[in-house]
Amino acid sequence: MSVDDKTVKKMHDNWLKFRSLCNKVGKRSKTVNKMLDHFENSAVFAPASSRTEYHASYPGGLIDHSLRVLLNLNKLVKVYECEDSVPKESMIITALFHDWGKVGDLDGPMYIEQDSSWHLERGMNYKINNNIQYMPNSQRTLWLMQHFGIKLTRDEYLAILLNDGMYSDQNKTYGMKEPTLALLVHHADRMACQFEKGKKSLC
């Protein structure tokens, strides 16, 4: 997809903000930055979904979406007055990386540009890269984080695993048993998706 200068600048600014926040996760900043260095070229351009009807299906969509989830999460934590029980580091790690598996894996990106005019005209901007190992997004995220040595607390692990909430069948056994962080991340994510749905470029 072609990207204009204004969008390129926004993508660059988002990436700098994303990386700055990742330096606020204490001792884990070193391993987090190692992963960011590896995926920098693909992460900056990665979309958050394949179709406009979903959310953030545009270059830079993944980082744009992740920053919005963290913004929403900050608001929810204040509204529910749970600042004391939800560590700031956990909020940054889970919000910014809940969808990280969408960058792909060590063998290539998850999304590749659509080359069919018919699909593009219908808002299907990307297609799934079938040349990498299939994994649900949350599981790929967790695999990548362990590959780069990023240690997670139990609640952080579950917040990433369950970020789709009960919309995902694989999560249903956790119904009414999720830790607070997982619930907050899911709702922050859901509202971000609602805001981004149908948009065709960075906001």
Q: Tokens 């999460």 sit at which residue?
A: 73
Residue with tokens 């963290």: 70
pLDDT of the residue at 51: 93
How far is 196 from 190, CA to CA, in rounded Å? 10
**How big is the CA angle at 155 (ends 75 and 140), to the nearest 5 degrees?**
95
| pLDDT tens digit at each of 203 positions of the chain | 678 889 999 999 999 999 999 999 999 999 999 999 999 999 999 999 999 989 999 999 999 999 999 999 999 999 999 999 999 999 999 999 999 999 999 999 999 999 999 999 999 999 999 999 999 999 999 999 999 999 999 999 999 999 998 888 888 999 999 999 999 999 999 999 999 987 878 86
Identify whether the C-beta of residue 61 lies closer than 8 Å to the C-beta of residue 49. yes
Whether 96 and 14 have beta carbons less than 8 Å apart is answered as: no
Looking at residue 197, its pLDDT comes to 87
Predicted local distance difference test score (pLDDT) of residue 199: 83
- Specify the CATH architecture of the domain 5-196: Orthogonal Bundle (1.10)
Domain segments of the chain as ranges: 5-196
- Count of Cβ atoms closer than 10 Å to residue 113 Cβ: 13
> What does the pLDDT read at residue 203?
61
Instruction: Look up residue 29 and give its amino acid.
Output: S
Q: Is the dihedral of CA 137, 35, 125, 186 positive or negative?
A: positive
